[in-house]
């Protein structure tokens, strides 16, 4: 999210940058790299240069990276700072919160139990948790299954009312899953893909019930220890805390800006969906297991045929999508299995190309810096493929220098189904502000640009012009934006004004604002989302994090707004208007 304040003046050149801020290159890993059949030395030089560029641009505070070739961690190193104020450098053994990479391990646990015949992932979840409840508003809806939960086709809401990352009370799994009983299923099970932290939490809860031991104890005994992930865990103990990086979290200030704080540290009720602590080296060992078809050190962790199923998109006729836990996609023409993660103050990426047995881990201690992390992930993958199979890195699109007069034709206000946008000049360059997220636009063709920012890497912006040569619309971020008249101010209805303001925790506020005659909701310190009224107090969320869920304002007897319920999560109003 956000723009870490690691001063670029600390760096003189990429070489001096690395000398100042690189963590230790472990001798045993250096030996592995030289002993390997593939020489990655030039790839490593190029990758380190790319990392230095990100650090000098202040886009990240610290990062640890691991490169894996089959059964070798050929490189693992940290850059920047695990703690900026104390000047603690990031290293290969710095601990990070992995966020949603946790889901891969939860799915692995469920599939281990399925192999043992203790679970059937196509049976109703109530077979294993008779107390599971959720309101089902659809006639003839089929029961929810573990397969649906693991591939995000269950129709469950995204977040739980109790135990989400909005809730710092640290409830246990029982209370977290039980809170779903008052919630309504968004879609009939098996019909649509909807990413759901609550769904994976239910999977972890069922693992706990079937195994008859706490979820984190099962993970430790049956997954982390066999994999040799000795610097990982699901709860923060003294050993993990000692090496844990400080997470940096920019918080929306309600004025279009962000104030950086140290990220709060608490355990989630949705622990199976996002509470793993780990290192780049430990996740490198996980990749080694994937490349060995479920084995490591001569020990089987999961069967090859089970892993193949996890690598296959489920319940949808597509070649890309969600498998069991894994996101299945492509890097160029190569099939990938991967997952990204984002949790307070941390962003992560794990990507494997099974056919060529190469994989990359990128862990960063800044909140949702998806653009830089994806850039480093893709750069590393490309360099590994170039070294291993001779696949040449494609040349980046050449920037097109457009005169200021042409660039000015794109400036103005726009709006889409989900976002507002303002395109403006910044010096001699074009910049996009998409619902409070800024991106630099680089022209590659007269009407085509690439957007680069905290949440975007090479994100295409394609404009359309009217007969007079003025941009009238553009497509970006999967949305169609149309120009709006910024001079014709549209007022929101007077009855909506009482909703304006801030709700929920100070570190992740829900901020309601008005623009172009619509209400917007800033959530998770990311974007302003455009709200659609369903009745005087209920608004529908647009495509994005909470697609087809609702935001409900709650009033007292005197019609004063005391709270808002965002997708079933109650958030108290902060301050007064």
Closest by Cα among 332, 286, 324, 285 to 306: 324
Is 441 in the same domain as 384?
Answer: no
CATH number, domain with residue 342 = 3.40.710.10
Structure-block tokens of residue 363: 């862990």
pLDDT at 22: 43
- Which domain, by its residues, includes 530? 494-574
Closest by Cα among 364, 395, 372 to 382: 395
pLDDT at 30: 37
For residue 510, what are the contacts with CB-CB under 8 A and spacing of at least 6?
Answer: 502, 503, 504, 521, 522, 523, 564, 566, 571
Structure-block tokens of residue 417: 């189904």
CATH number, domain with residue 541 = 2.40.128.50
In a domain, 6, yes or no: no
Closest by Cα among 347, 284, 379, 259 to 60: 347
pLDDT at 58: 85
In a domain, 156, yes or no: yes
In a domain, 91, yes or no: no
From the CB of residue 135, how many other CB atoms can be counted at a distance below 10 Å? 10
Kind and range of the H or E run holding 311: none
Query: 345-394: per-residue pLDDT in tens?
Result: 999 999 999 999 999 999 999 999 999 999 999 999 999 999 999 999 88
Q: State pTM to two decimals.
A: 0.92
Select from 484, 517, 536 the last residue of a domain: 484
Number of domains the chain is built from: 3
In a domain, 395, yes or no: no
pLDDT at 375: 96
CATH number, domain with residue 450 = 2.40.128
Select from 457, 484, 511 the last residue of a domain: 484
Select from 363, 389, 415 the last residue of a domain: 389
DSSP for residue 241: H
In a domain, 265, yes or no: no
Is 469 in the same domain as 506?
Answer: no
In a domain, 357, yes or no: yes
Q: What is the largest CA-CA distance in the chain?
A: 75
| The 3-state secondary structure of 421-464, one letter per residue | EEEEEECCEEEEEECCEEEEEEEEECCEEEEEECCEEEEEEEEE
In a domain, 35, yes or no: no
Phi then psi for residue 315, to 5 deg, are: 55, 25
Closest by Cα among 314, 223, 224, 219 to 271: 219
Is 378 in the same domain as 417?
Answer: no
pLDDT at 576: 56
DSSP one-letter string for 176-233: HHHGGGG-B-SS-TTSS----HHHHHHHHHHHHHHHTS-HHHHHIIIIIHHHT-TT-B
Is 321 in the same domain as 413?
Answer: no
Is 281 in the same domain as 301?
Answer: yes
Is 457 in the same domain as 500?
Answer: no
Is 112 in the same domain as 250?
Answer: yes
Is 254 in the same domain as 194?
Answer: yes
pLDDT at 33: 38
Is 280 in the same domain as 414?
Answer: no
Is 283 in the same domain as 413?
Answer: no
Is 294 in the same domain as 325?
Answer: yes
Low-confidence ranges of the chain (pLDDT < 50): 1-36
pLDDT at 13: 28
In a domain, 32, yes or no: no
Q: Is 572 exposed, middle or buried (0-12, 13-18, 19+ CB in 10 A)?
A: exposed
Is 316 in the same domain as 184?
Answer: yes
Query: 68-89: per-residue pLDDT in tens?
Result: 999 999 999 999 999 999 999 9
Taking the C-alpha atoms of residue 480 and residue 450, their distance in angstroms, rounded to an integer, is 16
């Amino acid at each position: 999210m956000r723009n870490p304040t690691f001063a670029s003046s600390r760096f003189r050149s990429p070489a001096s940058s690395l000398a100042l801020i690189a963590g230790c290159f472990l001798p045993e890993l250096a030996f592995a790299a030289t002993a390997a059949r593939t020489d990655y030395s030039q790839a490593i030089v190029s990758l380190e240069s790319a990392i230095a560029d990100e650090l000098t641009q202040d886009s990240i505070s610290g990062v640890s990276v691991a490169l894996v070739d089959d059964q070798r961690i050929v490189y693992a190193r940290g850059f920047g700072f695990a703690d900026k104020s104390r000047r603690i450098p990031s290293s290969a053994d710095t601990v990070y919160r992995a966020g949603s990479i946790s889901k891969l391990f939860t799915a692995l646990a469920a599939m281990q139990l399925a192999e043992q015949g203790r679970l059937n992932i196509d049976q109703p979840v109530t077979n294993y948790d008779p107390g599971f409840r959720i309101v089902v508003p659809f006639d003839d809806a089929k029961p929810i299954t573990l397969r649906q939960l693991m591939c995000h086709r269950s129709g469950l809401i995204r977040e739980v009312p109790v135990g989400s990352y909005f809730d710092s009370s640290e409830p246990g799994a029982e209370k977290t899953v039980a809170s779903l009983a008052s919630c309504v299923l968004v879609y009939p099970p098996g019909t649509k893909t909807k990413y759901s932290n609550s769904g994976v939490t239910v999977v972890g809860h069922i693992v706990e019930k079937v195994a008859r031991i706490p979820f984190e104890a099962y993970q430790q005994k049956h997954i982390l220890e066999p994999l040799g992930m000795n610097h990982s865990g699901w709860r923060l103990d003294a050993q993990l805390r000692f090496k844990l990086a400080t997470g940096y979290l920019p918080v929306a200030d309600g004025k279009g800006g962000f104030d950086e704080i140290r990220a709060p540290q608490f355990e989630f009720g949705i622990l199976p969906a996002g509470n793993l602590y780990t290192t780049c080296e430990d996740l490198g060992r996980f990749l080694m297991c994937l490349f060995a078809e479920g084995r490591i050190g001569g020990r089987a962790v999961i069967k090859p045929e089970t892993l193949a199923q996890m690598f296959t998109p489920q319940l949808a006729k597509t070649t890309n999508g969600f498998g069991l836990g894994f996101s299945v996609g492509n890097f160029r023409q190569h099939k990938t299995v991967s997952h990204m993660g984002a949790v307070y103050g941390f962003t992560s990426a794990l990507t494997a190309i099974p056919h060529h047995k190469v994989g990359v881990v990128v862990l960063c201690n800044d909140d949702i810096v998806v653009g830089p992390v994806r850039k480093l992930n893709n750069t590393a993958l490309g360099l590994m493929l170039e070294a291993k199979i001779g696949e040449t890195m494609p040349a980046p699109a050449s920037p097109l220098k457009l005169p200021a007069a042409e660039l000015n034709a794109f400036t103005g206000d726009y709006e889409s189904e989900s976002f507002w946008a303002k395109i403006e000049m910044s010096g001699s360059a074009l910049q996009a502000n998409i619902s409070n997220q800024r991106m630099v636009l680089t022209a590659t063709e007269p009407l085509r640009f690439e957007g680069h920012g905290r949440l975007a890497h090479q994100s295409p912006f394609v404009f359309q012009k009217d007969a007079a040569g003025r941009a009238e619309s553009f497509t970006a971020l999967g949305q169609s934006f149309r120009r709006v008249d910024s001079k014709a101010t549209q007022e929101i209805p007077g009855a909506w004004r009482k909703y304006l303001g801030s709700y929920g925790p100070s570190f992740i506020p829900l901020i309601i604002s008005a623009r172009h005659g619509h209400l917007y909701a800033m959530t998770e310190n990311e974007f302003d989302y455009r709200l659609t009224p369903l009745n005087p107090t209920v608004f529908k969320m647009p495509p994005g994090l909470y697609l087809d869920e609702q935001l409900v304002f709650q009033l007292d007897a005197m019609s004063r707004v005391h709270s808002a319920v965002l997708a079933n999560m109650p958030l108290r109003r902060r301050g007064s208007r």
